[in-house]
A = this chain, B = another copy of it.
Amino acid sequence: MTEDYRIDNLDKTILTALQADARTPYAELAKRNGVSPGTVHVRIEKMKQAGIITSAQVMVDPKKLGYQVCCFIGINLKTAGDYPDVLKQLQALPEVVEAYYTTGHYSIFTKILTRNIDALHHLLVHQIQSIEQIQSTETLLSLQQPIHRQINP
C-alpha cells in the first residue's frame, strides 16, 4: 500500500495463479517456479505492500443468490456539480454494485443487480429516477456475460 514496485516474471506467474485461485498453496507456487515457499511468501507480501494486490475475495454467482437481472444504467445529471451528492445516494442502494464517473454519453454509469425485472423497475422508478438531481437515465439490459476475467499482469 506504500511504495512502488516493478514486478518481475516470478511475481507475474504468482499473481496470475492467485488471480485464478487465491488459495493456491505457496508450496505449489514455489514448485512451479523452482523457488522456495519462503520466496513466494516474500513476493506476495511485497505485492500487498505495493498495493498491487488489494484483497482476496470469495466470488459469488449472483444468480445462485437470486439476483437474476444484470443491467447497466447510464445517468445524466441536471448539473455536473451534483455528482458527489448523487453518488452518495447511489452508494446507499446495495443493488448498485459498480459506479463510474464517465465522459461521453453519460455522467455516471452504473452496474446494477436485481432479483427480477419487477425489482429493477421498482429500483429505477422509485430509487433512481426519483433522485432529484438526475435528469435522465438509460438502461442496458445484460442477457449474458460471456467474458469475465482480470487483467493479465
Residues of A within 8 A of B (CB): 7, 15, 18-23, 50-62, 64-65, 67, 70, 72, 87, 90-91, 94-106, 109-110, 113, 138-153
Contacts and interface: CB of A to CB of B under 8 A. Distances in A.
Given A19-B58, A22-B23, A52-B64, 6 more contacts: A15-B58, A21-B57, A55-B59, A59-B150, A65-B151, A87-B146
B152 A94 contact: yes
Copies of this chain per assembly? 2
B61 A59 contact: no
B91 A147 contact: yes
A56 B19 contact: no
Nearest to A52: B64
A52 B61 contact: yes
